[in-house]
Structure 1
């Protein structure tokens, strides 16, 4: 049996608001569904005083799973969250993990610590007891478009620690796995996958298209990584709808000035099936220079709901006829019409095999970790 402790990048408060919409929370949910897992201890990043009195007051959903226990406390450091919030977050989170790891050992289980934090150093392997240390590269945060130089330096320091101390490493993409010149022996690429939540009861509900829908749609957080010039070109011929929270006011202003683009705002993960019913083709329109070796979860959500996808990069879908790269040499705008005609076809979801599902991949990785 496995006794798992997790240091997530997105915490239980994120889960409460958005649901399992991101990689680390989907992995936690999926691991909790495995019979081999006895208990999962989720260590929230300590909450600042400012957050505690405003946005982070309570949560219910993640801890509603009987296998999961969430650890949550308040940090009374008044300056760290203001001066350098991400660096502070990594440091205070890692200290909280150090304080708890010794208490959470289960002598009747294999003890696994999963670290998703881009910053913050935990002790050397010899000082953490019987824990198997597993680090997951959600992204290559040394390239992240929203991280400052100081924050990227903290990330690079973390990655040095990961390379020398962790028993197992998973990378979100092949490109991300090239971060280390000498690839770690006990590592693998775990791209994002099709996630099936417990609420889905192992069945994916793919609704029929409504009559009045947009041609193209985007779901996800909206930053300066969005390829606005390309969206403007698309909007000259096609209707576009964008769902997601904005992290850049200028980008929002630019998009609001483009006719034929509709902005719908943020959403929760449980709303995705309904949202997917409002457009025919999914978009992943990212500026190439701002890519951080990611594997977009949204592509899997599009395919899961029988929506083809128009993307700025191949990612892990270079041979998939339902994911078209608009920056490739053979791209022709007539291909968009072809994608529109395929929308809603059950063949899209059927084209995915077992390896495209998160649960199948995690079972394989857990077995590999236990063999290290």
Structure 2
């Protein structure tokens, strides 16, 4: 039996923003890993009935004009006073270019859309908004980008919404479903796993966090048989290029160092025993410091050298700027290792401050 750790290096920080219970509960997964594997295998059979793009090309994350953006707006974004989520949405709506059309997926509860319309009208934004109502029984989430990737078929100029074989949260699957029906865009399932937040698309390449590539490997274990002299992982990389992009180079992002997994730790405060969770949401065996690469990588275009610049978060640098003690939970060496890997892949890497913080919930 171990003694509680005395938390002497990190001060107590209480929540400085309103707690939104509906958002906190989103981490619950509806589909277990066994279900993911079953659906992955089933989709290798069923996807043959969907017309796949002949020459798929991902829409860039960094290039081109923001002609249109999709937002999912659950009811709880507007439900509470002093809502931190609504602060983010309303700030984003005001800052987008004046030519950007907004596609808003909202529940058909009779409340959310009128509230949004009133605010948008007051801020002279309603004329470029398009509403797409989703049955209230489908509990849409705030993470609009994770459900699908927009793929351009260079063979005929059409676009489609490409989804992974499954979603761990059922509502994610329906976001693309209802959006494709409303916009009249084809929706296609691929027998691989990905989430939009773990994928970044450059001019002639795309990056994906290695954790979800491993997930695809495990999901397809029953149908992915390596050819003689090749690794199954090499075949899997070919599958990603086949379904996502025929022309861009595919790079995987991760760390070769050990990445700490989520753990609970006890400590004492004023005679009471507390429990804190460190490295939240890091699963066992993860190779990413954060579960989505768009949380610590930013595409920044090509410099004079011709190399593509990628900004990589630096927790050590952020601590110096803020005058704070970093501590081991910032895992700066893991972020350094990710930066080194990208440099070896031919990218120009620039480090930028990535603050990591926490709240203590009594």
User: Is TM > 0.5 for Structure 1 vs Structure 2?
Assistant: no
Please tell me the TM-score bracket, short chain as reference: under 0.3
* TM-score of the pair, normalised by structure 1: 0.27
Whose strand proportion is higher, 1 or 2? 2
* TM-score of the pair, normalised by structure 2: 0.27
